[in-house]
Structure 1
Amino acid sequence: MSRDLAPLFDPVSVAVVGASDDPAKYGHAIASQALRAPHRRPIHLVNRRGGTVLGRAAAPRLGALGEPLGLVVVSVPAPAYEQTVEEALACGATAIVAVTAGFAETGAAGLARQRAVAEKVRAAGAVLVGPNCLGIADNTTELYLASDTFDLGGVALLSQSGNLALELQLAFAPHGLGFSRFVSLGNQSDVTLVDLVQDCARHEATKAIAVYAEDFGDGRAFARAAAAAGKPVVLLSAGRGPAAARSAASHTGALTTSSDIVAAACRDAGVELVRTPREMTAVLAAVAGGRRARGRRVAVFTDGGGHGVIAADAVEAAGFAVPELGPQVRERLAGQLWGPSALGNPVDLAGMGEQDPLSYAAVVRTLLDSDEVDAVLMTGYFGGYSADTGGLGGLGGAAGTLGAAELAAADSIARAVRASPKPVVAQSMYPDAPSCQNLQAAGIPVFAAIEDAARALAAVVVSTEAEDGGAVAIEPLPGAAAPMTDTGYYATRALLAEAGLRFPASAEISSEAEVRAFARSTSGPFVLKALHLLHKSDAGGVALNLADEEALVASHREMHARLSAPSYSVEQMADLQAGVELIVGVNRDPRFGPIAMVGLGGVFTEVLGDVVFALAPVSAARAEAMLRDLRCAALLTGVRGRPAVDVAAAAKAIEQITRVAAAQHDLAEFEVNPLLALPSGALALDARAVSLVPPSLSDY
């Protein structure tokens, strides 16, 4: 159930404890900001010395104010933190913003203090942001409790960095973007990132939610909140490199990194994941227009061949197609342009813009009207005619006339875009020119760099899955199954078989007589595996293609002489040439829970690294999408005379595996490698489970 944060963003009054005349203190900055809107609500300043602060009377303590409180900002030294919060609650405070630092970030003792205070706040029915935060602001309610001012706009920024907000403020300005809210997350001892995303989703003035997070807390809850937000969520995530410590007891553990997990959660939740503040700005500028591309066919439109080629490369590198336009579209363009113009795609004015700047608008309108185009990227010189560039390439007195015509073209382009559901983005050598600013004002993002324009396009593409019914569904976590007291090979097989997964005929054996008995009851060829070895192939504990009983017995004798394994598995050998070997693994992340990995399997899994990730469990439909995302996906449809495999059966097997693994809360990793996708059905050829508790040496 989402929390009511109205006392935080629209309090009846504000008290700043630790308000100061000293500009070096944070209490000075916040008090100064709070006083920007004294007409909206009562503002109280509290300083233990009393007297005056910023020319206003300051109370020595909260209790001396003599009235119930709304929101209290706590900016005091750490030793006074608990007492100040308790006094605020005693005075009826319903919200607290704790700037004070020195808690969870300092170690176990600080974490214990932080938790104790948060429990008191929740017990009182109040909410707390922080501690160790840099304040909050809500431009829509004139609540200014951060050290800096933020331009009004539609972006709510939830951030673990204050300086990032300042950088984004500067980056937003050319695009006409601003902030509805700013919240410094701090240590999230009470109000969490999830709470804030849910509240911003309900906030009418917030059109997009921007997040900078180093710690998600409950990452899966964040993904669910973002998926349900109903408005764009853009995440800049730090620390997404390889995890500092990880069990590598399976391929899944060795291949899964923190960045994979965050990317998987974002993909499933429909969150735009970005790497830099610049990229975040490009994405927010694009989604602010509200238009979405229903496909990946982009028309590149330029007034110079070089710009067109570079833009086409950037667009294709971003995953789009730049298809050649059909004869009807080219014929219409030919009627609008002149002989030197290129009409295929990229469409190049080739100097026509100097003859008639309104040709820009004519081309944009034609491209938007075409059923062959899903989006338009305009690149190059547009803006140069209205910019103050001196001689404008020798155009001299014509500059003023061309500039006016370019402004008219910008207005015409804006009208064409408003009349179309398709997005248009632009790259210009002169992004600050008046004509480009007119495009910006009309919701057409303009960038100085072509890579930013290409990234902006990527942000406004509606995926096939979204067209079919919204964001990818995040499957609910199943209830915890009974713990696996035995994580051995046959116990793992039995668990999966009960869920419907198919395995070859097999038997666990510990003697030569049992080897012979299995061989005589089942046709070959055979596979022999030494059990109780996590990486059997690496240890020489797997023998394949044993043709008959004698070959199987000989292999058992040789393997046992080397490994002395307590038991072995003897199995019917599957025809590997008839199918494609896949790997299906589930790794349990402390923040996001079970994460599914699907990829090209077999002994070269780690070498090839062709894997994709998703929050587990995954449905069969989601599993099919994951298989299509593999670089080797063409193998599944049949190549070089090999038959196509039963992708639906493989996807169903992936669903079964991930559901079993997600229910085993006591496991760190769960893996089937290989899962053999066949022309008819799918067959699991090996399985392993790794407990969350590290095994003892006796387990090996």
Structure 2
Amino acid sequence: MARDLSALFAPKSVAVVGASDDPAKYGHAVAAQALRAPLRRPVHLVNRRGGTVLGRPAARSLAEIGEPVELVVVSVPGTGFEEAVDSALECGARAIVAITAGFAETGAAGLARQRAVAERVREAGAVLVGPNSLGIADNTTELYLASDTFAPGGVALLSQSGNLALELQLRLAPHGLGFSRFVSLGNQSDITLVDLVEDCAGHAGTSAIAVYAEDFGDGRAFARAAAAAGKPVVLLTAGRGLASARSAQSHTGALTTSADVVAAACREAGVELVATPREMTVVLAALGTRVRAGGRRTAVFTDGGGHGVVAADAAEAAGLEVPELGGATRRELRSVLWEQSAVGNPVDLAGMGEQDPRSYSAAIGALLGADEVDAVLMTGYFGGYAAAGGGLGGGGATLAAGEGRAAGEIVGHWRARPKPLVVQSMYPASPSCRTLADAGIPVFSSTEDASRALAAMASQRPGGRPGPSPLPPAAPALRDPGYHAVRGLLAAAGVPFPAAREITGEAELLAAAAEFPGPYVLKALHLLHKSDAGGVALRLAGRDDLLAAYREMHARLGAPSYSVEAMADLSDGVELIVGVNRDPRFGPVAMVGLGGVLTETLHDVAFSLAPVPAGRAGRLLRGLRTAALLSGVRGRPAVDVDAAAEVVERITTVAAAHPEIAELEVNPLLVRPDGALALDCRAVPA
């Protein structure tokens, strides 16, 4: 259940403990901001010396105020923090914003203090932001409790960086965007990122949620909250290096990085993952239009061949499609353009804009009206005629006026046919481009930004995404991580394996050979990477070959036990890998990809939070770079991807139900035209 944060964002009264006249102190800046809306709610300033602060009487303590205070900001030295929090709770505070630093970020002792304070706040039925926060603001309720002023708008910014918030404000301003709320997350000792996402999801004044986070806390809960938000969530995160400091003991552990995990969670939750403040601005500007694409088919429209080719490449690099236009759309374009114009895709005016600037609007109208076009990217000189004013010889004023009329007509076409339309211009600040931007059409100076904006519009879907699958109930712990025990665990869940028997000597080996026919496989057990150590022998035709292989392998490796298995038919098969690695923030994370001995060489893998439903597993497999191998190449038959996907679901469900397993891997999973068969497995205890 979402927590009640009404006292945090819409309090009936506010007190700033540590308010100061000293501009060098944070209590000065917060107090000055709090007083920007003195008529909205009572604002009390508290300074232990009393007197006046910012020209207003200051109480020496919260008790001296003489009335309850619903929200208290604490900006005092660390030695007085606990006393200030206790006083706030005694005065009836339901929300506390802790600016004070020096807690979990300083080590174990600081963490213990932080936990003790958070526990006292929760026991009192209150909520706490921080400590180590830089404050909060809510423009919709005129609550200003941060050191800086944020322009009003529809973006809720939840950030672990104050400077990044300031940069984002500067970047959003040219797009006419501002903030509904700002929350500096601090150490998240009580109120977490998940709590804030859930609250902003239900906030009428918020149209998009922007997050900068280095520590997600419960990453899976964040993904669930973002998926359920019903509005865009854009994430900028840092520190996406190796998943953990420990040495990976499987291919899955070696290939899975924190970046893969975050990207998988964002993909399943419908979160737009960005790498820089600039990219976050681009995505927010695009999603602020609230126009979504029905697909990725993009028409590139330009007034110069070079701009068109560059834009087409950038669009495809962003994951969009730039297909050749069909006959009906070409004829419609021909009816409004001149003979020299190219109408394939990119569509190029080829100089017509200089003869008639309104050819821009005519072409845009035709493209927006085409059923085969999901989105339009206009790129090039548009805006340059108005920017030049009376230049361009004697016709400059005429061209500028015509371009201005074209801008208005483009807005009209877009409103009549609301498909995603993004503009890249050499003159984004020109009057014509401002006409487009003021109407809600995103305008950028760079082609890659325009393409990224369109990709964001195409990836967002009404109703959001389902989010990560729920974790299954924990199963009884696997006490033996040995090969055959793991094999048995997976087989009990419906994962098919060839016949096999564990043996410790020649008599047991010969008994195993009598149980099922050859050819055979012999594996030395209790080795980390059997193939690399020469601990696997394949295609042993009969018992004599099996016995000879055993004697040679045992003399060389001296393994305590071996596995005798039926040799699978490898013809017409493709080897896959399926693994699950347990991430400290997001829990079990699955990896699927091309398997066998080429796994770490080709790195053709995809990730998802586990467990992975069969439908999602099939999409991951068909999205691999080498997916053509699954469909059949050079006369080979297609393999049963659906059967493989069902096995992926079973493997990842087992792993998700066993938190005592850090890594679980099936490699290879042989997929043939008639089904899937697991040929080897490994588990690494947590």
TM-score by length of 2: 0.99
Q: Is the 8 A contact 1:73 1:96 kept in 2?
A: yes
Shift of 1:390: 6.3
RMSD of aligned Cα (Å):
1.2
Q: Is the 8 A contact 1:98 1:133 kept in 2?
A: yes
Match of 1:256 in 2: 256
Match of 1:201 in 2: 201
Q: Is the 8 A contact 2:389 2:400 kept in 1?
A: no
Deviations 1:498-541 (A, max 9, x none): 11111001111111122222223322221110111121111111
Deviations 1:470-508 (A, max 9, x none): 514421101111111101111111111111111001111
**CA separation in 2, counterparts of 1:180 and 1:399?**
42
**CA separation in 2, counterparts of 1:244 and 1:689?**
18
Whichever residue aligns with residue 524 of structure 2, its letter is: A
Whichever residue aligns with residue 559 of structure 2, its letter is: A
**CA separation in 1, counterparts of 2:57 and 2:459?**
56
Q: Is the 8 A contact 2:155 2:207 kept in 1?
A: yes
Asked whether 1:97 is paired with 2:97, we answer yes
Asked whether 1:298 is paired with 2:298, we answer yes
Asked whether 1:442 is paired with 2:467, we answer no
The farther-off stretch of 512-521 and 363-372 is: 512-521
The number of residues matched between the two structures is: 686
Match of 1:678 in 2: 672
Q: 2:623 aligns with which of 629, 638, 652?
A: 629
Asked whether 1:615 is paired with 2:609, we answer yes
Q: For residue 454 of structure 1, give the secondary structure of its aligned residue in structure 2.
A: helix
Shift of 1:400: 2.2
Match of 2:684 in 1: 690
Match of 2:157 in 1: 157
CA 608–472 in structure 1, closer or farther in 2 if over 3 Å, else same: farther
Match of 1:66 in 2: 66
Shift of 1:664: 0.3
Q: 1:542 aligns with which of 518, 531, 536?
A: 536
Shift of 1:333: 1.0
Match of 2:501 in 1: 507
**CA separation in 1, counterparts of 2:515 and 2:53?**
92
**CA separation in 2, counterparts of 1:346 and 1:371?**
17
**CA separation in 1, counterparts of 2:68 and 2:228?**
36
Asked whether 1:396 is paired with 2:393, we answer yes
Match of 1:695 in 2: none
CA 109–190 in structure 1, closer or farther in 2 if over 3 Å, else same: same
Q: 1:567 aligns with which of 555, 558, 561?
A: 561
Match of 1:409 in 2: 406
Deviations 1:228-278 (A, max 9, x none): 000000000111122350331111110100100000100110000000000
Shift of 1:121: 0.6
Match of 2:316 in 1: 316
Deviations 1:385-414 (A, max 9, x none): 122x4664xx13422222222122111111
**CA separation in 1, counterparts of 2:331 and 2:445?**
31
Deviations 1:329-350 (A, max 9, x none): 1121112111221111111111
Match of 1:6 in 2: 6
Asked whether 1:492 is paired with 2:468, we answer no
Match of 1:374 in 2: 374
Match of 2:424 in 1: 427
**CA separation in 1, counterparts of 2:361 and 2:440?**
16
Give aligned-pair identity as a percent: 73
Whichever residue aligns with residue 415 of structure 2, its letter is: R
Asked whether 1:667 is paired with 2:661, we answer yes
**CA separation in 1, counterparts of 2:87 and 2:682?**
56
Deviations 1:652-686 (A, max 9, x none): 00000000100001110111111111101110001
Q: For residue 19 of structure 2, give the secondary structure of its aligned residue in structure 1.
A: coil
Whichever residue aligns with residue 543 of structure 1, its letter is: A
**CA separation in 2, counterparts of 1:586 and 1:423?**
38
* Structure 1, gaps ≥5 residues long: 693-700
**CA separation in 2, counterparts of 1:587 and 1:246?**
12
Q: For residue 460 of structure 1, give the secondary structure of its aligned residue in structure 2.
A: helix
The farther-off stretch of 146-155 and 511-520 is: 511-520
Q: 2:635 aligns with which of 635, 641, 663?
A: 641
The farther-off stretch of 347-356 and 520-529 is: 520-529
Q: For residue 689 of structure 1, give the secondary structure of its aligned residue in structure 2.
A: strand
Q: For residue 314 of structure 1, give the secondary structure of its aligned residue in structure 2.
A: helix
Q: For residue 579 of structure 2, give the secondary structure of its aligned residue in structure 1.
A: strand
Match of 1:48 in 2: 48
Q: For residue 397 of structure 2, give the secondary structure of its aligned residue in structure 1.
A: helix
**CA separation in 2, counterparts of 1:420 and 1:509?**
71
Q: 2:457 aligns with which of 437, 457, 460?
A: 460
**CA separation in 1, counterparts of 2:200 and 2:611?**
28
What aligned pairs does 1:170-185 form with structure 2 within 5 A after superposition? 170-185=170-185
Match of 2:589 in 1: 595
The farther-off stretch of 180-189 and 323-332 is: 323-332
Shift of 1:372: 1.6
Whichever residue aligns with residue 679 of structure 1, its letter is: P
CA 82–503 in structure 1, closer or farther in 2 if over 3 Å, else same: same
Q: Is the 8 A contact 1:246 1:253 kept in 2?
A: no
**CA separation in 2, counterparts of 1:518 and 1:122?**
62
**CA separation in 2, counterparts of 1:462 and 1:172?**
21
**CA separation in 2, counterparts of 1:540 and 1:472?**
45
Q: For residue 565 of structure 1, give the secondary structure of its aligned residue in structure 2.
A: coil
Q: For residue 688 of structure 1, give the secondary structure of its aligned residue in structure 2.
A: strand
**CA separation in 1, counterparts of 2:523 and 2:155?**
58
Whichever residue aligns with residue 570 of structure 2, its letter is: L
The farther-off stretch of 235-244 and 89-98 is: 235-244
**CA separation in 1, counterparts of 2:604 and 2:94?**
51
Match of 1:696 in 2: none
Q: Is the 8 A contact 2:227 2:464 kept in 1?
A: no
Whichever residue aligns with residue 99 of structure 1, its letter is: I
**CA separation in 1, counterparts of 2:284 and 2:447?**
16
Q: Is the 8 A contact 1:524 1:546 kept in 2?
A: yes
Q: 1:482 aligns with which of 469, 476, 480?
A: 476
Q: For residue 495 of structure 2, give the secondary structure of its aligned residue in structure 1.
A: coil
The farther-off stretch of 181-190 and 350-359 is: 350-359
Deviations 1:557-581 (A, max 9, x none): 0110111111100111112232110
